[in-house]
Amino acid sequence: MMTFSSPEAVSFDSERWRWNAAEARVEDYLGRKSLHLRGGTATIADLSFTHGAIEFDLAFSGERGFMGGIWRVEDSKNYEELYVRPHQSGNPDANQYTPVFHGVSGWQLYHGPRYSVPVAYRFNEWIHVKIVFSGEQAEIYIGGMEKPVLFVDDLKRGVRPGSVGVSCGDFAAAHFSNFSYTVADAPLVKGRRAPEPVAVPQGVIPSWSVSDVFPESVLKDKYVLGEGDLAERSWTRLETERSGLANLARVQGINLRKNTVFARQVIVSDREQTKRLDFGFSDRVRVYLNRRLLFRGDDAYLSRDYRFLGSIGYFDSLYLPFIEGENELLMAVSEDLGGWGVQAKLENLAGLTLQD
């Protein structure tokens, strides 16, 4: 059985806090000394542990905003996060669990009931939040409930120690008070029964070779790739998640000039044949087979209408004309915000072999 230490409160005027935010100040709010935070994070500098809990009170308006708690913080760009969306109060995406890799949040990749849950919020008053994390799981309590409103069965960053703290996005500010943390000595949450494991799709591509990052503009009007387009690229092998998702931010981050990578898979066909490829991407993709451009897609946030989120899924299909022998599939994936990913599955693998 997991044993918890006693909760340790850390006042926001303590020197233990490390600020990394556009706005961070201690002030009186709703009758309490609190932290006003916007555009960044606040973490405890001298702390690192693997299993345990954080608790805090949170207050916000009904304006569009993204504020919550972070744990297993490696640095300012790598951590686990749970945030609320006040402007989505009562909706299925009223909150969000997401990993953050290299400064890239993954909410477009991790969506649905495993990662968010409907909660109705009260505005401009204190709401209690508790996050229990243990092993690869986490329980989320919002509003002083005795049972978790959200059970996360598969934390994406792995079981590793880190610091804890709070976060708030660049939109509406939030106030935090009564922060405390608790350290546990073993991985166990009381939780609810975990949902059934995600089924591995038939024909899924289970890994990719991911290139180093380069500017998207390099591929403008590039209908055929030459040797020079790939000669200087370096490659990292990335295993996909059970769903087939490759979170490309696991390899590296982006910047304003360099936001694109190639995801490469060599497919050996025993004959000339055509196969359907179902795939998803975030945010934009160019698909090349044997160095020739076959498809370009744009699923960026708001790219279709003001409600379009750009969530990833197997929403597109392409018929690949394989030649006998080796075929090189290249997905050039570009990212702006919200999740950098690609996933693909072939209708079947008859006559095909995926190279490791």
Could you read off the pLDDT of 197-228 as tens digits, one per residue? 777 889 999 999 999 999 999 999 999 999 99
pLDDT, mean of residues 10-34? 97
Both structure tokens of 219:
């591929």
> Domains in the chain and their CATH numbers?
8-184 (2.60.120.560), 207-354 (2.60.120)
Could you read off the pLDDT of 38-94 as tens digits, one per residue? 999 999 999 999 999 999 999 999 999 999 999 999 999 999 999 999 999 999 999
pLDDT, mean of residues 162-176? 98
Helical segments of 190-300, H only: 227-231
**Identity of residue 258:** K
Worst-scoring range by mean pLDDT, 285-294, 299-308, 319-328, 344-353?
299-308
Output the CA angle 261-75-80, nearest 5 degrees.
Answer: 80
pLDDT at position 4: 66
Distance of CA 216 to the CA centre of its chain: 21
The whole-angstrom separation of Cα 308 and Cα 276 is 26
In this predicted structure, the answer to whether residue 195 has a pLDDT above a threshold of 70 is no
pLDDT, mean of residues 294-311? 94
Q: How confident is the model at residue 28 (pLDDT cuts 50, 70, 90)?
A: very high
Average pLDDT taken over every residue of the chain: 95
pLDDT at position 271: 98
Beta strands (DSSP E) in 116-169 are: 127-134, 137-142, 150-152, 163-168
pLDDT at position 144: 78
3-state DSSP percent of the chain in helix, strand and coil, to 5: 5, 50, 45
pLDDT at position 291: 98
- What are the two backbone dihedrals, phi and then psi, of residue 318, each rounded to the nearest 5 degrees? -145, 140
